[in-house]
């Protein structure tokens, strides 16, 4: 499942959806807002284009690493320090594929999905330099 949402991410629900009797490993990744002297973060998406790119990346990962499930949820809107920006859950028969699939989705997402982050500080805001 692919989702871009203004709501808080539930990693627990994603893990539940990824579990199955075919999976021997479920790997999750959570990217969170780090306190680099900021107050929080705003995340913006070109929603339709990002959803189709994330789905393409998910399908690539599914076939490349023989995943049994892959879930990607990306936040938009205003996020507090420590809050989750992105969550990825991959399941596979064995751990190597699940780890590799999770890593692949994260790296591809960063370079291909039209999403942007703005760090909010007392001085205003600064768009995070992207790829």
- The span of 9-17, 32-40, 49-57, 60-68 binding other proteins (CB under 8 A) equals 49-57
Torsion of Cα atoms, 29 then 27 then 98 then 53, to 10°: -40
The answer to the question of residue 55 lying near other proteins (CB under 8 A) is no
70 part of the interface to other proteins, by CB under 8 A: no
> Quick check: 131 binds other proteins (CB under 8 A)?
yes
- Cβ proximity of 42 and 79 under 8 Å: yes
Q: Do 118 and 39 touch, CB atoms closer than 8 A?
A: no
Choose among 12, 30, 20: nearest CA to 91.
20
Residue from 3, 44, 60, 83 binding other proteins (CB under 8 A): 44
Output the smallest distance, CB 23 to other proteins, in A: 24
* ∠ Cα 53 35 130 (to 5°): 35
CA distance 95 to 99: 6
117 makes contact with other proteins (CB under 8 A): yes
Q: Minimum distance from CB of 22 to other proteins (Å)?
A: 28
> Given the rule CB under 8 A, which residues bind other proteins?
31, 43-46, 48-50, 52, 74, 85-86, 106, 109-118, 127-131
């Amino acid at each position: 499942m692919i989702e871009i949402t203004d709501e808080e991410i539930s990693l627990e629900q994603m893990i539940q959806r990824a579990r199955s009797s075919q999976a021997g490993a479920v790997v999750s990744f959570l990217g969170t807002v780090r306190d680099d002297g900021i107050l929080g973060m705003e995340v913006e998406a070109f929603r339709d284009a990002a959803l189709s790119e994330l789905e393409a990346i998910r399908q690539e990962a599914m076939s490349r690493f023989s995943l049994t499930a892959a879930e990607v949820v990306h936040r938009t809107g205003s996020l507090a320090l420590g809050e989750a920006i992105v969550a990825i859950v991959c399941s596979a028969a064995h751990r190597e594929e699940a780890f590799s699939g999770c890593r692949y989705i994260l790296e591809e997402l960063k370079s291909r999905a039209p999403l942007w982050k703005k760090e909010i500080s007392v001085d205003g805001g600064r768009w995070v330099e992207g790829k």
